[in-house]
Structure 1
């Protein structure tokens, strides 16, 4: 009887050990996925920062172009109407670029503040549910990121088109 009980306990221990190893493997897979997501987010943050720097540079270029055109105004006689239109459009698009930069800073700050490290549920919850939640959060973030990127690209193209048309005035 004692031997049967010992065998039963050994079988239970072996089963628990197999379950533990399975959970350990799943935990490692989750860590790999999480680190991959973190790397992706970091890469996207870097690309957003590069885009922000480009917008700021373009804004500075437009302002310097406006300043040069203003200084050369004394040499080249422009009509008051053309000068006013040029000044208004340059200020308008420089303001748009600054607004886009400001919005990017605010959104990136909000992203950094809201970014909490993923932690498994402590109630012995289902790791699949945790993964689904993480996946849905990432999908929402990705959708929002794509929408903002499309909006920024459209504003950049519009700004670039206006910038080209200003040169020919």
Structure 2
């Protein structure tokens, strides 16, 4: 449980002025990757929202330090990043019916995490077809899946080209010039 008097913090702004502030809401999102004994991998996403002051909802009061939202989503993937199992759990939600949507996330089974995955699942679970908070877990879980499998693919000699995928690995950058010279493109 979070104690409200432990939550005072000071922020240094860009102009170096000290401004006292008080924590009201905290969202924590974690993603963990696990190797399974059957040769597949689990990616577990966990989202938890807590408040430091009571929140009155139509269904009751959320007390300081208690979760307003707490959801877990676990996907099992194979080496090609195909989802072979998916389980969603709502541990805490502001409304008693929040967890009723959990079984819908089984429809992730068969999808492959690849470019366009995030847009696909946003459409699949849009509006009343999904849970906003479970949906928010899917993009960082997809990233965690790549991070988990990259070293495994490298050990297998399976090429995975990330050049052009971010600022550091831009085609005209120094990293690409030095480490991936065959893909380097001089700036215009």
Higher helix share: 1
Using CA pairs under 8 Å that are at least 6 residues apart, name the structure with larger relative contact order, 1 or 2.
1
Tell me the TM-score normalized by structure 1. Answer: 0.23
